[in-house]
A and B are shown apart, each in its own frame.
Chain A
């Protein structure tokens, strides 16, 4: 035996900091979600303030819940469990606190920029380029801290949870960097380096894996730590947990294209995404069963311990979401579910059930331990459990019903072959009562969270915080290689293979991507449909307003090749139509009609009135009023910067176009819109934002409409 026992201390301060941040941001993120939910049936709930209008706070809600609530929860759990699993304090306290404050700063900057309309519009990657760089730096600090701790561990065996943490830290770095490639045109705005179909593919490769490697793998690691701990019995099958891990990491990364089924993405890519998604059922369910079977013979504890109750629901929700996900990626099912609220219900089972309940469970586990006391009230925690579960049901069930209703109504034809519900509004008004029930569900869930916050506060008050926990262990013995007498250099390399492999992979990828991407993509952006032209200066401004207001939160721009869609919206979307779209704006949700062929559908004056008050043109509409577009002046000073940036990413504006001709063209087109408005007896001013937005909307999808696609270049 090694008699060389070392005494060291686990850092509890950092765990407490992340725990408090988890609770605070959790409440904030959920409240923003509630506001968004209310605005969907009561459009006036934004008080006509642009900063809290649905399109702007939807990304705020998703970012807050994913990166602030679950993100801090993940750090909390990892910083607690990693130290104990490695029998070592974190590699560097300084890096721990850099990670903490850096992450909080990123969250605050997100909370400021998103309501102000600074967004890339790429879902779950909305934060603009300076914040993205900050995320990269903080993430690397976290990675160094994590690997550093693993290297100096005193326990040779790396428990399966650690592997899940490693997968998270490496893969998120690669995804984030690849998807963030963009060309800045101001301190807070940029255009995606990719265009159209390519942008969509990169975005959903990222988007799906963000779910996989930010919301799933770290939490699986936490499950494999906290569930056995709470039940005080070993995981059902350690062997299964290893298979669970390796199968997941090798399958997950290929599943992304299932977000783009029936879109203009090549068919083979869609099928690839679907097949890998279906294969994922096996490891996911293996993991779920492994979690639940760990409680075999301990179900009496589940009855008494609220922490275990939360854990059981979390693992069950993981199982439900990972069965439903693959089912939704079957093309036939997806043709019904995509763009509907079904997806919303699916992600909320994952977020509220899996991530939320597991986070609550960890918090109830950690606070008594950090404060060396007992949970203040087990009864209150039990109430929290039931109210949160009820809230989740009230959220999910109505939204499932809403989603399926929408999907069926959109596809319903009459006997004579006409759309049964040709007016989109009819299908949304049908599900508004469900939206109301959903808000009740969300409220219950938040009430539960507030009860938990109070309970945790009282627990902290009743105990004494223990900043460091002392522990003892022997250092790792020399590697077997040394014993067998291998040369020293070999030993050195063998000691840190993982560390170096991972760092090298990331380094190579970053370097490679930075070099390859611009070269690859810019040359490829050759227009393939002769009638498709770059946006005019006024349309560029209008498109940026469309992005700023988050219109794609409710309006897709991608008509799928179904008769029900082509009847309703017009010719289905072609890949070649989007070659100048930096970023792509296909969207993933329809709370309003698709806009891919909106151009020319209504007169300019209709759009003006519709933005002024949607209910004046569409009675009952749930769209908010966009009054500020009517009064705010459009920002034309930055036009050269915008066009320049677009040219750099491959849009063929002629040389020198931005310095003069562009402004002239802009004024001329704005004048035309004003004249059109006058015809519709609306008095519009040429320098207002609404003019640019109308110009953009009237352009949508018209490239193919106006000219027959077979026309050759002149």
Chain B
């Protein structure tokens, strides 16, 4: 069958894409494991608070758009 080679045709590049995707994925797995072991997710409450309060007081005036 002439058209049966469809799968075969697309195969070679699929291997490259899967390898590339897996490499990216594995990279993120490593990063994830690191982040857990580093204790990045031990505290899931204060990081969200802390990022709000990092501007040094008085340096930047409150603008109209965020006036309390």
**Interfacial residues, chain A to chain B (CB-CB below 8 A):** 84-85, 87, 155, 157-160, 163, 166-167, 170-171, 174, 178, 194, 196-198, 201-202, 205, 225, 228-230, 232-235, 238-239, 242, 246, 249-250, 253-254, 264-266, 269, 305-307, 364-365, 368-369, 372-375, 378, 381, 466, 469-472, 497-498, 501-502, 505, 508-509, 512-513, 516-517, 520-521, 524, 528-530, 574-576, 579, 709-710
Contacts and interface: CB of A to CB of B under 8 A. Distances in A.
A96 B36 CA distance: 30
Contacts of B24: 170-171, 174, 253, 505
B12 A521 contact: yes
B56 A471 contact: yes
A368 B64 contact: yes
Interface string B37-68: 00011011101111110111001110111101
Contacts of A84: 54-55
Interface in B18-33: 19-21, 23-28, 30-32
Nearest to B3: A574
A549 B47 CA distance: 52
How many of chain B's residues touch chain A, expressed as a range?
A: 35 or more
Nearest to A235: B48
A202 B59 contact: no
B23 to A, nearest CB: 6
Given A501-B30, A575-B6, A710-B2, 18 more contacts: A87-B54, A157-B43, A170-B27, A174-B23, A205-B21, A228-B48, A229-B52, A249-B28, A305-B66, A307-B66, A373-B63, A374-B64, A469-B56, A509-B20, A520-B13, A521-B13, A574-B3, A579-B9
A372 B61 contact: yes
A509 B16 CA distance: 10
A65 B57 CA distance: 37
Contact of B41 (A225, A242, A372): A242
A556 B48 CA distance: 48
Interface of B: 2-3, 5-17, 19-21, 23-28, 30-32, 34-35, 40-41, 43-45, 47-52, 54-56, 59-61, 63-66, 68
A234 B52 contact: yes
Contacts of A157: 40, 43, 47, 50
Contacts of A528: 2-3, 5, 8-9
Interface of A is mostly: helix
B12 to A, nearest CB: 4
A524 B9 contact: yes
A25 to B, nearest CB: 24
B66 A498 contact: no
Contacts of A178: 16-17, 20
B59 to A, nearest CB: 6
B26 to A, nearest CB: 8
A375 B64 contact: yes
Interface hub of B41, B56, B66 (most chain A Cβ within 10 A): B66
